[in-house]
Amino acid sequence: MSATRALIFDCDGVLADTERDGHLVAFNQAFAQLGLPFRWSAEEYAGLLKIGGGKERLAAYLAAHPEFDLGAEGQVLDVIAAVHKLKSQLYVDLVEGGALPARPGVRRLITEALDAGWQVAVASTSASRSVQAVLSSVIGANNTKRVSGVFAGDIVSAKKPAPDIYLLALRELGRSTDEAVVVEDSEAGAAAAARAGLRHIVTLSHFTTNDPFPHASAVVSDLGDYDAPARLVSGQDIRNSQGVVDLSGIEALLPQPNEALAAR
Ligand SMILES: [Mg+2]
């Protein structure tokens, strides 16, 4: 039965608190290195995070700030492309330098799922190289080799909250919506999972504590570790008796095919 199960993780905010500790830092480094006249505060970045995708985020910021006159539309697009390229490199440097700690319980739960024969995948609309770097930094090179798929970047045209990346992941993994659970941390990500028809849990991250999650099966502070249990915020209590989210808590969210077979 376990071979027909998939656990699909968002990257940013779920595997690590990458927005606060990584992307924001890298954006501001890129602005400085390219001589651009603005920097983003954590408060400004919190608002921009409602927009999925780094290029889209920067485009929206520039559209809202005409005082930073970067020239005609084509030149603006060149600036956005240059920032995105440099920022992506700076971010990977930062991640590969070990500056991003894993969020609580992520490595534990992924190892448990892989050992139980579940498919583990990552679905993110961030740049593919960044996602790969975060994943291997968080779960290690050996576990990364056992992951069934890293679906990231521009492989779908519509970013979260569109369901496309999750629909692609399901198709590639060969799973139905009744066989997979998603872990998300943001409103846009949870909406993408919901629109794909997927059950999802939410681990709140630094910038998403006030987001609404109307369709989440459960919202928790994090996945929890045995020395630092998770807090249930809302929904079904998927924690075990020691206060951590384990595979049986995830499995309990899915319909049980064996029950239907046993009834025949
Ligand atoms: Mg996220």
Report the separation in Å between the CA atom of 16 and the middle of ligand 1, taken as the mean of its atom positions: 9
Q: Does the predicted model carry a pTM greater than 0.85? A: no
Q: Quick one: pLDDT at residue 195? A: 98
- CATH fold match for the domains 2-17+101-262 and 19-96: no
Q: Where in the chain are the domains?
A: 2-17+101-262, 19-96
What pLDDT, on the 0 to 100 scale, is given for residue 125?
87
**Cα 119 → chain centroid:** 17
**CATH homologous superfamily for 2-17+101-262?**
HAD superfamily/HAD-like (3.40.50.1000)
Sites in the chain below the pLDDT cut of 50: 1
CA 142 to chain centre: 21
What is the rounded distance in angstroms from the CA atom of residue 177 to the CA atom of residue 174? 10
Task: Name the CATH superfamily for 19-96.
Answer: Putative phosphatase; domain 2 (1.10.150.240)
pLDDT by residue (tens digit) across 72-89?
Answer: 878 989 999 999 999 989
How much is the pLDDT for 101?
A: 85
Average pLDDT over the chain, rounded to an integer: 93
Determine the distance separating the centroid of ligand 1 and the alpha carbon of 44, expressed in angstroms. 17
What does the pLDDT read at residue 129? Answer: 83
H helix or E strand, kind and range, residue 81: helix 73-96
Q: Which residues are catalytic?
A: 10, 12
| Half-sphere exposure for 261 (CA within 13 Å, toward CB) | 5
What pLDDT score was predicted for residue 134?
93
Distance from Cα 184 to the centre of ligand 1, integer Å? 6
Strands across the sheet containing 119-123: 149-151, 119-123, 6-9, 180-184, 199-203, 218-220, 232-235
Nearest to 226 by CA among 238, 251, 248, 243: 243
Report d(CA 192, CA 198) in Å as an integer: 9
